[in-house]
Structures are given as structure tokens and as C-alpha cells.
């Protein structure tokens, strides 16, 4: 007789996931303080990469980039391959205008196993290279992003603009 495997969540797991979903809802409503509270409660129940990264996101929205980076680094202690945290750290360093540091984190994010939106690090790197005037490198990154997310209108638009700049240089 075949064994049936039951995937039963512990009460802590259930509460943690519920608080996480509550936080996502509060973000969608623009309720940052309530979102932050929900994510904090999620972490108190059971720390997770996702809850810590979302807490970082809220702190980034509040322009507290150092705290956002620290929260994402805490998430990476749980799962070093969590691509969203890697990408977000790169994004926060862009916001701080620390582009060299941003590139380091975004390169790691490009190789992450756990990245639901693998085109994001390429877009962020493309933005950096474009801002630095390295249009060839920017084009490479935006082409990579487009391969990962075909048909994305904004990526297509930026890529076309960069190619025109490169061709007219």
C-alpha cells in the first residue's frame, strides 16, 4: 500500500504565512506602517527570506536603504541563493549611488537559483551601464532581460533607444 505524504503546516508556519499575505495586502493599499507590522509579525512567528525581503522593500520605499539592505542580508542568511534579496540589495545601492557595490550584488542576482523575475538584475545593470555611458554593456544587459521576458514593451523601448544612441555614436 502506498504511503500518503501529508504536508501539514505548523501553527507557526501558518501564522507566518498569513502575516506575510496581510503585509502584501497592506502594501497594495499603500499602508506601509501596517505592512511593516505584518511582516515583522511574520518574522516573529518564523523568519523567512520572503518576509525579511518584503520588510526591506517597505524600508526602501521609506528611503531607509541601509535598513533595507540589512534586512535583505538577513534573508540571505536563511537562503544565500534568494535572488529577490540579491537584486533588491543591488537596487538599494543604486538608490544610494554606490554603483560599484550595486554591480557586485546584481551580478550575484543574475546567477541566483531562486529568482522569480530573472530579468530584473539585467534591467538594473542596464540602467547602471547606461547612466555611466557604457551603452554597449547596457545593450547586452537589456538584450539578456528581453530574452528572459520576451515581449516586454518597456525593455524593448529602452533597448531600441540605446541601440539608436550606439549607432549614432
Give pairs for 123-130: CB < 8 Å, separation 24+: 123/155, 124/87, 124/90, 124/91, 124/94, 125/90, 126/158, 126/162, 127/94, 128/94, 128/99, 128/102, 128/103, 130/158, 130/162
Cβ contacts of 74 within 8 Å, gap of 6 or more:
47, 52
Spatial contact of 77 and 107, defined as CB atoms under 8 Å apart: no
pLDDT tens column, 9-54: 688 888 999 999 999 999 999 999 999 999 999 999 999 999 999 9
**Nearest one of 121, 42, 113 to 88, comparing CA atoms:** 121
The string of pLDDT tens digits covering residues 56-72 is 999 999 999 999 999 99
Helix, strand, coil percentages for the chain (3-state, nearest 5) = 75, 0, 25
User: Domain extents for the chain?
Assistant: 11-101, 117-169
- For residue 80, give every residue at least 6 positions away whose Cβ sits within 8 Å of its Cβ, in sequence order, or none: none
pLDDT tens digit string along 88-144? 999 999 999 999 999 999 999 999 987 889 999 999 999 999 999 999 999 999 999
What mean pLDDT do residues 2-12 have? 63
According to DSSP, the residues that pair with 82 across neighbouring strands are 114
Please choose, from the candidates 34, 87, 95, the residue with its C-alpha nearest in 3D space to the C-alpha of residue 63: 95
pLDDT of residue 6: 46
**For domain 11-101, which architecture applies?**
Alpha Horseshoe (1.25)
What's residue 10's pLDDT?
83
Side-chain half-sphere exposure of 13, counting CA atoms within 13 A: 4
Which pLDDT does position 3 carry in this prediction? 59
What would the pLDDT profile of 142-157 be if each residue is shown by its tens digit?
999 999 999 999 999 9
The mean per-residue pLDDT over the stretch 163-169 comes to 88
The Cα–Cα gap between 93 and 153 comes to 26
- The full 3-state SS of 138-159, as one line of letters, equals HHHHHHHHHHHCCCCHHHHHHH
Amino acid at each position: 500500500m502506498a504511503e500518503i505524504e501529508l504536508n501539514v503546516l505548523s501553527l507557526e508556519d501558518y501564522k507566518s504565512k498569513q502575516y506575510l499575505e496581510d503585509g502584501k495586502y497592506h502594501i497594495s493599499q499603500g499602508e506601509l506602517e501596517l505592512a511593516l507590522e505584518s511582516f515583522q509579525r511574520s518574522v516573529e512567528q518564523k523568519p523567512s527570506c520572503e518576509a525579511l525581503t518584503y520588510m526591506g522593500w517597505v524600508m526602501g520605499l521609506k528611503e531607509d536603504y541601509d535598513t533595507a539592505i540589512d534586512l535583505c542580508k538577513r534573508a540571505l542568511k536563511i537562503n544565500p541563493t534568494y535572488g529577490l534579496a540579491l537584486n533588491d540589495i543591488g537596487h538599494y545601492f543604486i538608490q544610494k549611488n554606490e554603483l560599484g557595490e550595486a554591480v557586485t550584488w546584481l551580478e550575484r542576482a543574475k546567477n541566483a537559483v531562486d529568482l522569480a523575475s530573472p530579468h530584473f538584475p539585467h534591467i538594473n545593470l542596464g540602467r547602471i551601464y547606461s547612466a555611466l555611458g557604457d551603452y554597449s554593456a547596457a545593450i547586452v544587459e537589456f538584450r539578456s532581460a528581453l530574452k528572459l521576458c520576451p515581449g516586454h514593451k518597456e525593455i524593448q523601448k529602452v533597448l531600441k533607444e540605446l541601440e539608436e544612441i550606439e549607432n549614432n555614436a
